[in-house]
Amino acid sequence: MTRTALAPRFTGAGSIEFADHEYPDPGPGRLLLAVQANALCGTDRHQYYDGSSVVPGHEAAGIVLQAGPGTSTPVGTRGAVFLMDFCGECRSCRYGATNQCQAKRADMGFTHDGGYGPYELVHETNFFPVTDDIEIGNATMLLDVMGTSTHALGRAALVRQDVESVYVAGAGPIGLGLTVMSKLKYGDVPVYISDFSRWRLDFAESFGAIPLLADDLAAAGNPDLAFDSSGKEAARRAALDIISPRGALICVGHGESVTLDVSRDLISPEHAVLGSEYFRYDEMPGNLALLSEHQDLIARVISHRFPVADIAEAFRLFLAGETGKVVITQDGIA
């Protein structure tokens, strides 16, 4: 059987329409979710401007409405959707590095329907149940805000343990996540953050970050760790120029490149430059424990919530750089 429901259709050039969309019953190993929340991400801008053949949305949380054959998740289970529909069998998956799966079945919201619609069909293996104390909109924090950020912090810990200061380039949702998770990990260690948006800098400051304009980083001194969430070459280059000896630059934001002078940038100062891609599914239980303990703090990263009927206004405000994380909500279960 299939069910038909209105879902947002991204037609390109910043236009979002609502049209009937078909959702089949779940097959073996799959779950049909009634989506209740999906957080906006800067990556969505490509579908917003270029259009999408599927329903976008890769930071979804909802309730299991139907469970297919061979599954063990009870109907009514609340949880979040891991972006990468990993195979579970390749070398990376066997090691636990599901963010580096070599045979992904899907990227939810990009290659297959995601969470801006009322339903989402997922494999049971990339659905993560959450405890009853977690408000369902806040469950989206387990994904890009917490998951991507804590994974990047873990990557940094591979090469630098004596951390006395942190710098974050870009005060968007990932930059805010890096700020909050750095504060939880390192305590009173100063966290500097840069951006061109005064609104976002003020918002980051409310979490204890020290705000800097992106073209004036002198006050940051020589941080031990620098995280680039902007994806901009200029930001990466500036971070490399200020990090301390033995410091590390962790590139989290996709986008532009960076040019290195190996002797000057890497060998002499023993700098490390690392990439950090999304996060591993097996990191989610630890993040759930953190979210349960610090839900009020972490949920403050969500500055706006909009019903799905107002998704166009949500994108307009988000892309203007005047929000933290924005969450789209769905009403009811049917």
pLDDT, mean of residues 143-153: 98
- pTM here? 0.96
What CA–CA distances, in Å, run from 248 to 172, 180, 226, 243?
Answer: 21, 19, 6, 7
The tokens of 49 are what?
A: 């401007």
Is residue 46 over pLDDT 70?
yes
**Cβ-contact 31, 64 below 8 angstroms:** yes
Q: What is the pLDDT of residues 161-219, one digit of tens each?
A: 999 999 999 999 999 999 999 999 999 999 999 999 999 999 999 999 999 999 899 99
| Residue 228, amino acid | D
Coil, helix or strand at residue 8: strand
Q: Where are the beta strands (DSSP E) in 25-104?
A: 30-39, 60-67, 78-81, 84-85
> Which two three-digit tokens encode residue 203?
């918002």
Beta bridge partners of 9: 17
Which residues lie below 8 Å from residue 3, measured CB to CB, with a gap of 6+? 22, 23, 119
Span 57-113, pLDDT tens digits: 999 999 999 999 999 999 999 999 999 999 999 999 999 999 999 999 999 999 999
pLDDT, position 90: 98
Burial (CB < 10 A; 0-12, 13-18, 19+), residue 72, is exposed
Long-range contacts of 299-304, Cβ-Cβ distance < 8 Å, separation of 24 or more: 299/135, 299/137, 299/138, 299/141, 300/206, 300/207, 300/324, 301/141, 301/145, 301/173, 301/176, 301/177, 301/180, 301/207, 301/325, 302/39, 302/137, 302/138, 302/140, 302/141, 302/326, 302/327, 303/203
For 288-300, what is the mean pLDDT? Answer: 98
Main-chain phi, psi angles of 247, to 5 degrees? -75, 165
Characterise 49 by phi-psi region: left (phi > 0), alpha (psi -120 to 50), beta (else).
alpha
Per-residue model confidence (pLDDT) at position 331: 81
Q: Which residues contact 292 (CB under 8 A, 6 or more apart)?
A: 131, 133, 134
- 114-138: b (≥16 Cβ within 10 Å) or e: bbbbbbbbbbbbbbbebeeebbbbb
Query: What is the per-residue pLDDT across 225-279, written as a single tens digit (0 to 9) for each?
Result: 999 999 999 999 999 999 999 999 999 999 999 999 999 999 999 999 999 999 9
Reading the block at residue 107, the tokens are: 């990227």
Report how far residue 213's alpha carbon sits from residue 209's, in angstroms, rounded to the nearest whole number.
13
Contacts of 323 (CB under 8 A, 6+ apart): 303, 304, 317
What does the block give as tokens for 160? 């630098």
Which residues on neighbouring strands pair with residue 166, listed in sequence order? Answer: 191, 225
DSSP label of 246: T
Question: Span 127-147, mean pLDDT?
Answer: 98
**Confidence band, pLDDT 50/70/90 cuts, at residue 332:** low
Q: What is the pLDDT of residue 333?
A: 57
